[in-house]
């Protein structure tokens, strides 16, 4: 399930996936990755313009839709966090 976070991020915006995937190396555990990603998404919900402007998407992405997508993404991350590790399953590439 945690691996799905990277896939779902790509459905929202390619550079969102890029940033989340690149952040994986900072975390020692799956749960710390999930918590860190949740914090990252919270920051993007609070200030989507800066993120989109940095990646030159500000004029291409509807900010309200982006925030809506991020809020749905946040709910998914919380669901994964609340799922016991033993029930999350193996990533498809294992």
Taking only the tens place, the pLDDT of each residue in 45-69 is: 999 999 999 999 999 999 999 999 9
Longest dimension (CA), the chain: 43
Residue 81: how many CA atoms within 13 Å on its side-chain side? 15
Q: Quick one: pLDDT at residue 73?
A: 98
Q: Which two tokens stand for residue 74?
A: 């946040």
pTM for this prediction: 0.90
Mean pLDDT of the chain: 93
Q: Which two tokens stand for residue 38?
A: 């949740």
């Amino acid at each position: 399930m945690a691996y799905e976070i990277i896939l779902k991020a790509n459905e929202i915006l390619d550079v969102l996936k890029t940033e989340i995937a690149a952040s994986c190396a900072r975390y020692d555990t799956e749960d710390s990755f999930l918590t860190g990603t949740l914090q990252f998404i919270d920051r993007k919900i609070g200030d989507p313009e800066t993120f989109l402007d940095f990646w030159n998407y500000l004029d291409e992405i509807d900010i309200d839709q982006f925030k809506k997508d991020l809020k749905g993404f946040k709910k998914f991350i919380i669901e994964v966090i609340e799922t016991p590790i033993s029930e999350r399953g193996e990533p498809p590439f294992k």
